[in-house]
Each structure stands twice: as structure tokens, then as C-alpha cells.
């Protein structure tokens, strides 16, 4: 009976963890089906939003990687990967239309959880950089 309970707990643990897609197109270990990102839209060019996001990531932590990937729609997504407060940060910047650019900020804790407060704070800092 104890073995059955133990196997059931192990199976539940394995099912509850998994991988999620990041803004850079890679996968990372995380708890799936949980909101892990904050999105903002700005009337600025892609390059302005991308540079502001890069500066915010450098000021708050460490920039690790810059990635350019293409969606199925042949839309380029500029992505940044880094660390802020021991959390993995993934930022994606893409053009919605010629005058509007969207940014998505994902934050994951070392154990695969989310930190929506930090994601919102970073997105807000990018918005403030664009205003100045």
C-alpha cells in the first residue's frame, strides 16, 4: 500500500512539472499552465523599445543573451535573456503594426515558479525609459 501511495505522489509531481516556451524560442523547466508574463504595447519603433528593454535589463541585473527569431508569420521577434535577483528573465519585442510595438516580459524563479511582480516592474521600467 505504501508503494502505491509513493508511486502516486511521484506521478503527480512529474505531471505537475514540465517545460514552457520562452520569448527567445527556447524551452525552460517550469510549472506549466500558470500566467508567467506581462505584456505592454507602445507607440514606438521596435528599435526604441528593444534598446529600452536592454538598458532596463542591464540596470537591474545581467544581460546574458540576445536572440532574433522569426514567427510563422515571418515577423521578427527580438528577444533578451538575463538574470535579475536570481530569476531568469525573458523579454520579447515585436512589431504589432508600423506604429505599435509590443513587449512581453517573462520571469521564472530557480524552481520554475513565476514572479509576476518582477515581470510587471520590469515592463513598467521599460515604459518609463520610453517616456524620457
Domain boundaries, the chain: 2-131
pLDDT tens digits along 48-63: 999 999 999 999 999 9
Residue written as cell 505592454? 40
Between 7 and 43, where is the model more confident?
43
Write down the pLDDT at residue 33: 67
To the question of pTM greater than 0.85 for the whole model, the response is no
Residue 68 CB contacts under 8 Å (≥ 6 apart), including other chains: 76, 77, 78, 79
Q: Which is nearest to 88 in space by CA: 72, 105, 109?
A: 109
> What's the DSSP call for residue 33?
S
Specify the CATH architecture of the domain 2-131: 2-Layer Sandwich (3.30)
pLDDT tens digits along 56-99: 999 999 999 888 776 666 667 889 999 999 999 999 998 888 88
Amino acid at each position: 500500500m505504501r508503494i502505491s501511495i509513493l508511486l502516486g505522489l511521484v506521478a503527480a509531481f512529474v505531471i505537475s512539472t514540465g517545460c514552457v516556451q520562452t520569448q527567445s524560442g527556447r524551452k525552460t523547466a517550469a510549472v506549466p499552465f500558470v500566467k508567467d508574463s506581462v505584456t505592454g504595447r507602445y507607440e514606438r519603433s521596435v528599435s526604441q523599445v528593444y534598446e529600452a528593454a536592454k538598458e532596463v535589463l542591464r540596470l537591474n541585473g545581467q544581460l546574458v543573451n540576445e536572440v532574433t527569431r522569426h514567427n510563422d508569420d515571418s515577423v521578427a521577434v527580438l528577444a533578451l535573456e538575463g538574470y535579475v535577483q536570481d530569476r531568469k528573465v525573458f523579454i520579447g519585442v515585436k512589431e504589432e503594426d508600423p506604429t505599435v510595438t509590443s513587449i512581453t516580459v517573462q520571469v521564472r524563479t530557480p524552481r520554475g515558479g513565476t514572479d509576476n511582480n518582477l515581470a510587471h516592474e520590469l515592463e513598467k521600467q521599460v515604459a518609463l525609459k520610453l517616456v524620457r
